[in-house]
């Protein structure tokens, strides 16, 4: 599942390519799962609007749309198209003569002649429209230290579960939670409430460091993630614990362990993490 750095990479790629473009028409497939708003509502909201910006909010891609001319006066100028990629979703910018891939659920024709296509084999992705979208939780790259510390204060759940709780921080998933905990020297099963202010300060720093490094490398390519160009990221080569069960820790040579916490695999070094 794409996490914050992968979605950021995709949103930046889309922003650089479709900002300013105008939506001429919208085709939506017949499968109901990808549509969180009704097909009629999505089509009516997107059609004849200009894409003013594309950005990430948590794990969502947000297309900021503006109306033009009579439409802007009639139905309000602004709207948002919200895309959640789920497990296997991708949003591609295609030439109109490119073959339509299997599992294409939406095709948005742009005035530039290109098309935005939403492809999702497993259909956990979601398309919706909104006016003032709120993804909930704090943005991990913007949150201040004191706010970050207060998010975890007094929580009896393992810190790993708290990091994955999207109502606290939005966008951190399994990979970046494991990698952040390794860099902070904290075991995933530790109760959030047991962490000292200094532990949380280190975790705050490592979460931001890991996310920024991953964004700079285009995210992690695990399973079938690709960006809007169909390119893979390379942060997976920097993973120190995630997916390395049974391999040796790069810092101390101890064998990396895997435990299951709240149904999710967690990877950690039993020597580097306390």
By the criterion CB under 5 A, which residues form the site for Zn ion? 249, 251-252, 254, 269, 271-272
- In whole angstroms, the minimum distance from the beta carbon of 183 to Zn ion comes to 11
Q: Which of 136, 159, 48, 148 is nearest to 84 (CA)?
A: 136
- In whole angstroms, the minimum distance from the beta carbon of 267 to Zn ion comes to 11
The residue among 52 and 252 lying less far from Zn ion, judged by its C-beta, is: 252
The residue among 186 and 272 lying less far from Zn ion, judged by its C-beta, is: 272
Structure tokens at 62: 């947000």
- In whole angstroms, the minimum distance from the beta carbon of 244 to Zn ion comes to 11
Residue whose Cβ sits closest to Zn ion: 249
Give the C-alpha separation, 271 to 257, whole Å: 10
Burial class (CB in 10 A: 0-12, 13-18, 19+), 30: exposed
- In whole angstroms, the minimum distance from the beta carbon of 272 to Zn ion comes to 3
- In whole angstroms, the minimum distance from the beta carbon of 274 to Zn ion comes to 11
Q: Is the dihedral of CA 173, 174, 178, 181 positive or negative?
A: positive
The residue among 100 and 251 lying less far from Zn ion, judged by its C-beta, is: 251
Phi, psi of 174 (to 5 degrees): -60, -45
3-state secondary structure of 41: helix
The residue among 111 and 255 lying less far from Zn ion, judged by its C-beta, is: 255
Q: Are 171 and 138 in contact (CB under 8 A)?
A: no
The residue among 31 and 254 lying less far from Zn ion, judged by its C-beta, is: 254
Query: Kindly report the CA angle at 177 between 268 and 231, in degrees rounded to 5?
Result: 110
Q: Are 133 and 84 in contact (CB under 8 A)?
A: no
Question: 259: which strand partners?
Answer: 266
Q: Where are the alpha helices (DSSP H) in the chain?
A: 4-18, 39-46, 69-75, 145-152, 159-164, 174-184, 197-216
- In whole angstroms, the minimum distance from the beta carbon of 130 to Zn ion comes to 44
The residue among 98 and 251 lying less far from Zn ion, judged by its C-beta, is: 251
Q: Is the dihedral of CA 202, 8, 158, 133 positive or negative?
A: positive
Active-site amino acid positions:
2-3, 59, 264
């Amino acid at each position: 599942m794409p996490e914050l750095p992968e979605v950021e990479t995709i949103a930046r790629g889309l922003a650089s390519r479709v900002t300013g473009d105008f939506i001429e028409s919208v085709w939506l497939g017949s499968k109901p799962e990808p549509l969180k708003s009704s097909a009629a509502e999505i089509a009516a909201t997107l059609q004849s609007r200009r894409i003013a910006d594309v950005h990430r909010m948590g794990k969502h891609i947000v297309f900021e749309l503006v109306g033009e001319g009579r439409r802007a006066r009639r139905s309000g100028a602004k709207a948002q198209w919200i895309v959640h990629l789920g497990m296997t979703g991708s949003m591609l910018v295609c030439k109109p003569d490119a073959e339509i891939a299997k599992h294409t659920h939406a095709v948005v024709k742009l005035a530039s002649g290109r098309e935005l296509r939403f492809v999702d084999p497993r259909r956990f992705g979601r398309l919706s429209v909104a006016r003032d979208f709120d993804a909930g939780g704090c943005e991990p790259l913007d949150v201040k230290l004191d706010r970050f510390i207060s998010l975890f204060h007094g929580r009896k759940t393992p810190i790993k579960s708290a990091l994955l709780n999207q109502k606290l921080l939005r966008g951190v998933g399994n990979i970046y939670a494991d990698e952040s905990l390794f860099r902070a020297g904290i075991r995933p099963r530790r109760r959030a409430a047991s962490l000292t202010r200094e532990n949380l300060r280190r975790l705050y720093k490592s979460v931001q460091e890991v996310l920024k490094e991953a964004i700079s490398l285009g995210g992690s390519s695990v399973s079938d993630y690709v960006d809007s160009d169909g390119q893979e990221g390379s942060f997976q080569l920097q993973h120190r614990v995630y997916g390395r069960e049974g391999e040796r820790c790069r810092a101390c040579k101890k064998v990396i362990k895997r435990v299951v916490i709240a149904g999710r695999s967690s990877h950690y070094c039993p020597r580097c993490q306390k």
